[in-house]
Amino acid sequence: MSAPAAASRAEARRGPFPWDLLGVVVLAIIAAFTPDLLRFVFDRASVSYLSIASNALSLAILALSWDMLARTGNLSLAHAAFYGAGAYTTALLVKHADVPLWLGIPLGGVVAVAFALLLGSFTLRLRGIYFAIATLAFAEVLKSVVHHAPTDFAGGNAGMNVPALFRPVFIAGEMERWEVAYMRNEAYFYVYAGLLVATVLASILLQRSRLRHAMTAMRTNEEVAGVMGVRATRVKLLAFTLSSAFVGMLGAVEAHRVGSVLPEQSFSVATTVLALVTPIFGGLYTTLGPIVGAFGLSSVQELLRRTFADGYLIGYGVVLVLTILFMPRGVVGTLGTFFRRRRKGAQR
Amino acid sequence: MLHIARRLIVLVAALALGVTTAQGVTIGVLSPLTGGSAGTGLAQRAGFELALQEINAAGGVLGEPLRIIVEDTQANPAVGLAAFEKLMTEDDVEFIAGGFSSGVTLALIESFRTFQPIVMWIGGAVSGIGIDGFDGIEELIGEEEWFFHVHPWDYHNVEAATAFVADTGVQTVTLLHEDSAFGGPGSAGAQALLEDAGLTVPLREAFTSTLLGGTGDFRAAIAKAAATNADMLYWIGYDSDVVPLTSQIRELNYRPQHIFGAPPGWPSEFAAAPEAQCVTGLIGFMPNLPTPEAQAFTRAYVDLHGAEPDNYMAALAYANLWAYADAINAAGTTDQAAVIAELQTGTFRSPIGDWSFQPSIIAKHQGFTTDLWLVFQYQNGVREIVWPLEKATAPLVSCR
């Protein structure tokens, strides 16, 4: 056997280099140093940059968790329901069960999963627009239930207070006031970053498993996928469960950060819209696309806001429309195609 | 070496972001300029711009032109938080103005307490008083020295509306309300006060506002209201509900003696619509308020913006900025204690008349209360002020 053939066989046994997992490690390292780097560069202004970065991380979790279900070819409009379920779970636990604040976050995910299983068991046999409408209605039903639950239980229209996870104390003479805000924002940043790393890992494991092929087959043609032995309902239910777990935990964290839950705020349609617009911008059905979409859109919006205070959303809208018109596969999909073509051109 | 590198990076970043150092006093403004509450935020900005022009024409603040930096909150708590932190840490402002949305205000309280600038806030009316197990803005702020609340609290709004209803002489009132934090507690408070005043409330029915995803079909709620045959239909909703609600009331031929609404604002073109006739509404400022201050404000507003103010938030924003300018000029310094002392003791100008800060149920500094509110009625295409009687431009007429 020739040496190149032996090397090729050895590589096949080992599998391709896990660039995606290396990417997670790099992401975690960048996240670990980001607060210190921002403080080093921007000093006290790092407080607001940390908030903006946390908002971008939150959007990335929202978008990536939505994309996990979208990979099965189903358009879910229930993300606001799972986000709100997580937010209300932690608020109710704090109010009625006096549990440690941190416990509300995983339990927010658990309750969101329970709702996903309930919704999924009724709707996952639906397809296309029928599935989308059913999921949208579910978010409205949950909001209505919260509205009409006894006020002393779920707060009714006025909502409920949710205590902050972090309350650094100002010590006069030893620190400046902005440092208290920095410590608080730094702590929340790490919570969001940790949640994003967990979401990315789940997404990568999904992509590396055989489920990826099942999802792609379902997205292309669900009937044919079924004939080929793909158990479509089971796959969709699994994707729905994973997707809802992360967004439920996100809702719980955000409730602590903003200090309250209100039905209109927690079950807002805007949450669902952001969850689907961001992966479309960044690139659907990938792990990288929703993350690129979240950081890309957040940066574009912030830059436009600081440059054109008046009508910056017009510029933001133009960027979105142009992306959809000229990059229908999103930023990541278009760049991938571009580099593949270049590589092929160079090989010729 | 690291120190020099950091300075260089900060300098380059500042230049890249267009940061400039400016002399004089700068006031940071938080308003929802985009999103569902943009109408209110843009009205606030228009009021701030007029006050800024007048203040600087009159010599500015401490002899220098006053500056304002307006940040968009999108009425989103997380965005509002980042915007406030930018004002405090990048723009280094010492005074905060503006404000709208109870959700945003609740998210900001922890951060207000961290930085403790002077905050003079014209939005966020949910006090929390009367709601068991929920701490509203007034309860969370408590007696903080640096917080000045300009807009009436929710209980002031309900008291004013209920006083008007009682003054009309009606005996029965049906309540329709949108089902969020705005209309829910407001209608519950209104029902309690009306019943305390000896009136009967045969129905309190919720609907989903068009602003919050409702379809705009209110016929079921209106039909229930009509079946009660109450003397008055009192509704609490948003600006976007005005046209569908009133047109469906006419369509169903429901004719109570009075149709009274309390949205934050009214569509400016609604006056010309036939269904507007005899509809009454609660509002914080009217351009035809027959006082010299109101007339002067309206004239100046039209000169600057080309149209009359159609949202009372413009008048409150105007009052907000002038109060800062007068208090800082009177203090002769931006020292926080001196400015707080002037705000606590001063009397300030506004299109609504002179005003000052007094304690409310919990908070130490409350600006306007029930006295802010007026009731107008659409009469032949014109909004006439009908309540309180001392400010009325026309008598109240019945719809029957």
Domains and CATH numbers, chain A: 20-266 (1.10.3470)
CB within 8 Å: A47 and B85: yes
| Paired strand residues for A260 | A161
Contact call for A181 and B85, based on CB within 8 A: yes
Residues A309, B106: C-beta atoms closer than 8 Å: no
Q: How far is B208 from chain A (nearest CA, A)?
A: 10
Residue A231: pLDDT over 50: yes
Does residue B370 belong to the interface with chain A, where contact is any CB pair within 8 Å? no
DSSP labels, B310-321: -STHHHHHHHHH
The residue-averaged pLDDT of B257-281 equals 91
Mean pLDDT check: name the lowest of A8-17, A157-166, B261-270: A8-17
Q: Is the pLDDT of residue B267 over 90?
A: no
What superfamily would CATH give domain B155-287+373-391?
A: Response regulator (3.40.50.2300)
What is chain A's Cα-based Rg?
A: 22
Q: Is the pLDDT of residue B23 over 80?
A: no
Q: Measured between CA atoms, how close is A339 to chain B, in angstroms?
A: 31
Q: In chain B, count of helices (H) and strands (E)?
A: 12, 12
Contacts of B77 in chain A (CB under 8 A): 258-260, 265
DSSP string, B33-49: -SSTTHHHHHHHHHHHH
Which chain A residues touch B135 with a CB distance below 8 Å? 161
Name which of B241, B260, B148, B242 is nearest B194 in CA terms.
B260
B296 has pLDDT over 60: yes
**Do B134 and A158 lie within an 8 Å CB cutoff?**
yes
B179 and chain A in contact, CB less than 8 A: yes
In this prediction, residues A299-313 reach a mean pLDDT of: 87
What ipTM does this complex have?
0.91
Contact B133 A160 (CB under 8 A): yes
Percent of chain B with pLDDT over 90: 79
Conformation bin of residue A311: beta by default, left when phi > 0, alpha when psi is -120 to 50: left
Q: Residue B180: its chain A contacts at CB < 8 A? A: 157, 262-264
How far, CA to CA in Å, does B56 sit from each of A10, B21, B120? Answer: 78, 19, 20
Q: How far apart are the first and last CA of chain A?
A: 28
Give B-chain residues touching A251 at CB under 8 angstroms: none
Query: Could you tell me the pLDDT band of residue B21, with boundaries at 50, 70 and 90?
Result: very low
Residue B213 sits at the vertex; the CA angle it makes with B209 and B218, to the nearest 5 degrees, is 40
Q: How confident is the model at residue A8 (pLDDT cuts 50, 70, 90)?
A: low
User: Which of the 8 DSSP states describes residue B20?
Assistant: -
B277: pLDDT strictly greater than 80? yes
Across the interface, do A178 and B79 touch by the CB < 8 Å criterion?
A: no
CB atoms within 10 A of CB B91: 16
Residues B96-137 have pLDDT tens digits of 999 998 889 999 999 999 999 999 999 989 898 888 888 999
A142-185 pLDDT tens trace? 998 998 889 889 998 889 999 999 999 999 999 999 999 999 99
pLDDT of residue A7: 60
Q: What is the mean pLDDT of chain B?
A: 91
With tokens 């609907």, the residue in question is: B207
CB contact under 8 A, B6 and A41: yes
Query: Which of B45, B104, B106 has the most A C-beta neighbours within 10 Å, making it the best mutation to test the interface with A?
Result: B106
Residue A321 and residue A94 in contact, taking contact as beta carbons nearer than 8 Å: no
> Could you report the per-residue pLDDT of B158-194, keeping only the tens digit for each?
899 999 999 999 999 999 998 877 788 788 889 999 9
Under 8 Å CB pairs connecting chains A and B tally to 130
Q: In this predicted model, which residue has the larger pLDDT, B246 or B13?
A: B246
For range A46-75, the mean pLDDT: 96
Contact B103 A262 (CB under 8 A): yes
Residue A55 to residue B183, Cβ atoms within 8 A:
no
Q: If you average pLDDT over residues B34-45, what whole number do you get? A: 89
**Beta strands in chain B, from DSSP E residues, in sequence order:** 26-31, 67-72, 95-98, 118-121, 147-149, 172-178, 200-207, 232-236, 258-261, 279-283, 374-379, 382-387
Residue of B nearest to A46 (CA): B89
Residue with tokens 């409920």: A160
**Range(s) of chain B covered by CATH 3.40.50.2300:** 2-153+294-371, 155-287+373-391
Torsion, CA A134, CA A136, CA A140, CA A142, rounded to 10: 70
Confidence at residue B17, expressed as pLDDT on a 0 to 100 scale:
44
Percentage of chain B lying above the pLDDT 70 cut = 94
Which H helix or E strand runs over A277?
A: helix A269-282
pLDDT at B20 over 60: no
pTM of the model: 0.90
Q: What percent of chain A has pLDDT over 70?
A: 96
pLDDT tens, position by position, A64-121: 999 999 999 999 999 999 999 999 999 999 999 989 999 999 999 999 999 999 999 8
Residue B11 is predicted with a pLDDT of 45
Q: Do A263 and B180 touch (CB under 8 A)?
A: yes
pLDDT at B201 over 60: yes
Q: Do B10 and A42 touch (CB under 8 A)?
A: yes
B70 close to A (CB below 8 A): yes
For residue B178, list its beta bridge partners: B207
When pLDDT is cut at 50, 70 and 90, the band that residue A315 belongs to is confident
pLDDT at A344: 84
Q: Please give the structure tokens belonging to residue A108.
A: 């927010």
> Mean pLDDT across the stretch A40-59?
97
Q: Which two tokens stand for residue B191?
A: 């029902």
**C-beta atoms of A161 and B134 within 8 A:** yes
**How far separated are the first and last CA of chain B, in Å rounded?**
83
Residue B348 has pLDDT above 90, yes or no: yes
Q: In chain A, what residues touch B34 (CB-CB under 8 Å)?
A: 313
Distances (CA, A) of A135 to A123, A300, B98, B104: 8, 30, 38, 28
Q: What is the pLDDT of residue B113?
A: 96
Q: Closest partner residue to A181 among B9, B78, B114, by Cβ? A: B114
For B103, which of A178, A260, A305 is closest by C-beta distance? A260
Please name the member of A42, A48, A161 whose beta carbon is closest to the beta carbon of B135. Answer: A161
Q: Give the span between the Cα atoms of B225 and B187, in whole angstroms.
A: 15
CB contact under 8 A, B114 and A170: yes
In whole angstroms, what is the distance from residue B316 CA to residue B309 CA? 11
pLDDT at residue A14 in the model: 64
A323-348 pLDDT tens trace: 889 998 999 999 989 888 888 888 77
Interface with B, mutate which of A41, A43, A48, A146 (most B CBs under 10 A): A48
Identify the residue whose tokens are 């002899």.
B63
Give the minimum alpha-carbon distance from A178 to chain B in angstroms, rounded to a whole number: 7
**Which of A41, A265, A303 is best to mutate for the B interface (most B CBs within 10 A)?**
A265
Residue B233 pLDDT greater than 70, yes or no: yes
Domain at B2-153+294-371, CATH homologous superfamily: Response regulator (3.40.50.2300)
Nearest CA in chain B to A169: B114
Q: How many C-beta atoms lie closer than 10 Å to residue B242's C-beta?
A: 23
CA distance A341 to chain B (A): 35
pLDDT greater than 50 at residue B15: no
Q: Is the pLDDT of residue B14 over 70?
A: no
Q: Name which residue leads in pLDDT, A315 or A203.
A: A203
Tell whether B353 lies on the interface with A, counting CB pairs under 8 A: no
Q: Identify the residue among A55, A175, A179, A264 best suited for mutation to test binding to B, counting B beta carbons within 10 A and taking the highest.
A: A264
CA distance B169 to chain A (A): 31
Q: How confident is the model at residue A18 (pLDDT cuts 50, 70, 90)?
A: confident
Q: Confidence class of residue A122 from pLDDT cuts 50, 70 and 90?
A: confident
- Helix axis angle, B183-196 to B154-168, nearest 10°: 50
